[in-house]
Homo-oligomer: A and B are copies of this chain.
Amino acid sequence: MTDLTYADIEAAAERLRGAAHRTPVLTSRTANARSGGQLFFKAENLQRMGAFKFRGAYNALMRFDAAQRAAGVLTYSSGNHAQAIALSASLLGIRSAIIMPHDAPALKVAATREYGGEVITYDRYKEDREEIGRRLAAERGMTLIPPYDHPDVICGQGTAAKELIEDAGALDLLLVCLGGGGLLAGCALAAKALNPACRVIGVEPELGNDGQQSLRAGRIIHIPVPDTIADGAKVTHVGEHNFRVIQRLVDDIVTVSDAQLIETMRFFAERMKIVVEPTGCLAAAAALHGVVPVAGLRVGVLISGGNVDLPAFARFVA
């Protein structure tokens, strides 16, 4: 495979024009006072379907040829990527099938169906979703678009950092939430091209630091499913395409605790008036809790999404 470049991000941005929201860049005097830095929050919780995942999914589907469009798209996800694929496919008139665990939250299943996706359930304790995905893709001729380990997904996600730097100006540092690595890899591609001096740091949950371990080891490290409230970062390993970019362009990977994520959710709700899911708080938590020194720096902070059930959100912030 050839290395992804900024030209791929630019092409993705063209495909997303008019389809994805150009989400606002928010600032907060209180966040600046608390951190000592000048923070620019890219609010992807205000993206369509509530997360940056729309960018990658829509970009991948826009690259389908006529035969692929006719046959449809398949994916496996219990999270935001499921809704991203269902919505993008529906907007483009493409059939979509989403493989979800049979015990996935009813709300997420309902949201995926509402966006027009066919939901196929499997027993996550007895069956392997990747094997089901491969079998269904073969049987139905559908194209599989996985949640993060895919060049088109990575490049779609990178458009978030492109917009952030265009709107905020040059940055000294960019902090990005890290789960499977789609957002981090894409944003690193954009940031290092637009702004070579900008350091790029990924932020993971303390108990799910497979990315940090991988970057240090120089190879992809697998861990058990981590126990964290950051459900979007409950991955066992970063993707292969993602890791190639991360190794090449990311300066460091740090971790934050679940307690820091909850405090950050509260800060966002109380002071910035936005609903952010736990995973979406990763990058901000690193800046607001001094995990990464930001004093005197212009810092981009990716807020990845806002899809949290209201009862859970109420418990976190009450």
Question: What is the interface of chain A, defined by CB distance below 8 A to chain B?
Answer: 21, 24, 26-27, 29, 45-46, 48, 50, 266, 269-276, 306-307, 310-311, 313-315, 317-318
A310 to B306, alpha carbons, bound, how many Å?
17
A48 to B31, alpha carbons, bound, how many Å?
12
By Cβ-Cβ distance, the 8 closest A-B pairs, closest first, are: A273-B306, A314-B318, A314-B314, A24-B24, A273-B275, A45-B273, A310-B317, A269-B275
- The verdict on A46 contacting B275 (CB below 8 Å), with A310-B266, A314-B314 known, is no
List B contacts of A269 (CB < 8 A): 275, 310, 313
20 A-B residue pairs with CB within 8 Å: A24-B24, A24-B46, A29-B48, A46-B273, A50-B273, A266-B310, A269-B310, A269-B313, A270-B310, A273-B275, A273-B276, A274-B275, A310-B317, A310-B318, A313-B317, A314-B314, A314-B315, A314-B318, A315-B318, A318-B318
Residue of B nearest to A30 (CB): B114
A50 to B274, alpha carbons, bound, how many Å?
11
List B contacts of A50 (CB < 8 A): 271, 273
Copies of this chain per assembly: 2
Residue of B nearest to A273 (CB): B306
A27 to B24, alpha carbons, bound, how many Å?
12
List B contacts of A317 (CB < 8 A): 310, 313-314
List B contacts of A276 (CB < 8 A): 273
Expressed in whole angstroms, the minimum distance between the Cβ of A52 and any Cβ of chain B is 12
List B contacts of A266 (CB < 8 A): 310
Q: Which of B272, B313, B315, B318 contacts A46 (CB 8 A)?
A: B272
List B contacts of A310 (CB < 8 A): 266, 269-270, 317-318
A318 to B318, alpha carbons, bound, how many Å?
10
Residue of B nearest to A91 (CB): B29
List B contacts of A318 (CB < 8 A): 310-311, 314-315, 318
Residue of B nearest to A270 (CB): B310
List B contacts of A315 (CB < 8 A): 314, 318
Given A314-B317, A314-B318, A318-B318, 8 other A-B contacts at CB below 8 A? Answer: A24-B24, A24-B46, A45-B273, A50-B271, A50-B273, A273-B276, A274-B274, A310-B318
Residue of B nearest to A312 (CB): B318
A138 to B104, alpha carbons, bound, how many Å?
66
Q: Is the CB of B274 within 8 A of A273?
A: yes
Residue of B nearest to A29 (CB): B48
Most buried by B among A272, A273, A276, A307: A273
List B contacts of A314 (CB < 8 A): 313-315, 317-318
Expressed in whole angstroms, the minimum distance between the Cβ of A151 and any Cβ of chain B is 28
List B contacts of A24 (CB < 8 A): 24, 46
Expressed in whole angstroms, the minimum distance between the Cβ of A313 and any Cβ of chain B is 7
Q: Is the CB of A26 within 8 A of B48?
A: no
Residue of B nearest to A47 (CB): B273
List B contacts of A307 (CB < 8 A): 273
